[in-house]
């Protein structure tokens, strides 16, 4: 779905409109979001049970249970067992990963308005084409962010902010790879202050409502706190749905006032990431070298100095008495 709109010279809507529109969007799709959440849980549990059943059948076919008391009987089948185990685990984890990605993409498309043209099943099915592009963009984002984190953390936080809209550029604007990253940087560059203020207000509200207030109530009154703990689960789910609606609503608002013709400067992000990874590599080399020196100097790896009495006796394969050993060590 292409969310790009004709360039508007107007500013972003008031902050209160963003919060109100996000709430209305979440409420309008509340039932569908619930169905998707239940579907995600059911699909994941179903896959795990199915693979557990397949694993049990394979174990019985290979005679793994009979060989518990006689492991030597499996020596001839060891290569086959290893190959099947690797394929089994790879199939299970990849299946669960694909399902989780589909149920991650579907709510984004749902809140973006694509439910108007298709049902939930079609929404899920259509999300398959976004899995690889989204994984690729997520991987590149992690590389850039970690590269910045190695430089006293702060640069990594800034990079993560500038790449925050990359996933929406993939799923909602149909972009791929560096194009999606540049789209996110372009949005942030042209609307940095407004976006930062809105995110700060949202984070403060989220912390107060979801974390601070329930914690305070539970400490004041234990009985009420127990009820709040149960309600907290529901509040957390609603808060996560609202966060997604907030992100998509904000993305649409800033996308509408972003000049797509202006270049997106990613040079500083690439430079910071490269420097960060070089520093990390240098740090790892220094760390491994220091560790190797410590290991070589450990008592168990002691080597007498060349030419010493202890070394000469060792070269001649002459047993060294403890007294000579100690005297040789003391002379070094």
Query: Which range in 83-87, 147-151, 242-246, 264-268 is most confidently predicted, on average pLDDT?
Result: 242-246
CB 7 within 8 A of CB 187: no
The model's pLDDT over 268-288, given as tens digits with 9 standing for 90+, comes to: 999 999 999 999 999 999 988
Rounded to whole angstroms, what are the CA distances from 293 to 2, 20, 66, 297, 332?
Answer: 58, 61, 49, 6, 18
- The pTM assigned to this predicted structure is 0.75
pLDDT of 151 strictly over 70: yes
Mean pLDDT score across all residues of the chain: 82
Q: Span 37-65, mean pLDDT?
A: 85
* Residue 115: closest CA among 30, 43, 23: 30
Delimit the domains of the chain by residue range: 15-280, 302-331
Region of poorest pLDDT, from 29-43, 274-288, 308-322: 308-322
Three-class secondary structure assignment of the chain = CCCCCCCCCCCCCCHHHHHHHHHHHHHHCHHHHHHHHHHHHHHHHHHHHHHHHHHHHHHHHHCCCHHHCCHHHHHHHHHHHHHHHHHHHHHHHHHHHHHHHHHHHHHHHHHCCHHHCCCHHHHHHHHHHHHHHHHHHHHHHHHHHHHHHCCCCHHHHHHHHHCCCHHHHHHCCCCCHHHHHHHHHHHHHHHHHHHHHHHHHHHHHHHHHHHHHHHHHHHHCHHHHHHHHHHHHHHHHHHHHHHHHHHHHHHHHHHHCCCCCCCCCCHHHHHHHHHHHHHHHHHHHHHHHHHHHHHHCCHHHCCCCCCCHHHHHHHCCCCCCHHHHHHHHHHC
First to last CA, the chain: 76
- Give me the mean pLDDT over the 31-49 stretch: 92
Q: Is the pLDDT of residue 121 over 70?
A: yes
Task: Report residue 142 as tokens.
Answer: 């992690």
**pLDDT tens column, 183-240:** 999 999 999 999 999 999 999 999 988 888 777 777 776 666 667 777 888 888 899 9
């Amino acid at each position: 779905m292409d969310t790009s709109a004709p360039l508007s010279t107007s500013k972003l809507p008031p902050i209160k409109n963003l919060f109100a529109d996000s709430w209305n969007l979440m409420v309008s799709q509340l039932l569908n979001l619930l169905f998707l959440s239940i579907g995600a849980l059911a699909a994941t549990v179903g896959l795990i049970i199915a693979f557990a059943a397949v694993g049990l059948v394979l174990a019985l076919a290979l005679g793994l249970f009979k060989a518990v008391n006689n492991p030597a009987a499996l020596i001839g089948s060891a290569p086959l067992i290893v190959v099947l185990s690797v394929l089994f685990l790879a199939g299970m984890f990849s299946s669960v990963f694909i399902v989780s990605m589909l149920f991650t993409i579907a709510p984004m498309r749902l809140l973006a308005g694509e439910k108007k043209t298709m049902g939930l099943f079609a929404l899920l099915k259509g999300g398959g084409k976004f899995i690889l592009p989204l994984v690729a963009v997520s991987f590149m984002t992690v590389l850039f962010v970690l590269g910045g984190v190695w430089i006293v953390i702060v640069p990594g936080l800034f990079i993560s902010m500038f790449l925050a809209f990359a996933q929406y550029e993939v799923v909602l604007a149909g972009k791929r790879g560096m194009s999606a990253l540049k789209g996110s940087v372009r949005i942030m560059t042209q609307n940095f202050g407004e976006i930062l203020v809105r995110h700060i207000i949202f984070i403060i509200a989220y912390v107060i409502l979801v974390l601070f207030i329930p914690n305070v109530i539970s400490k004041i009154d234990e009985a009420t706190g127990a009820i709040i703990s149960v309600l907290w689960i529901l509040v957390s789910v609603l808060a996560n749905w609202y966060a997604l609606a907030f992100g998509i609503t904000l993305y649409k608002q800033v996308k509408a006032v972003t000049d797509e013709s202006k270049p997106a400067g990613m040079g500083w992000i690439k430079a910071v990431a490269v420097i960060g990874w070089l520093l990390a590599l240098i740090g790892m080399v220094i760390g491994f070298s220091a560790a190797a020196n410590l290991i070589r100097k450990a008592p168990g790896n002691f080597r007498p100095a060349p030419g010493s009495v202890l070394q000469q006796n060792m070269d001649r394969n002459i047993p060294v008495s403890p007294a000579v050993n100690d005297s040789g060590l003391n002379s070094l």
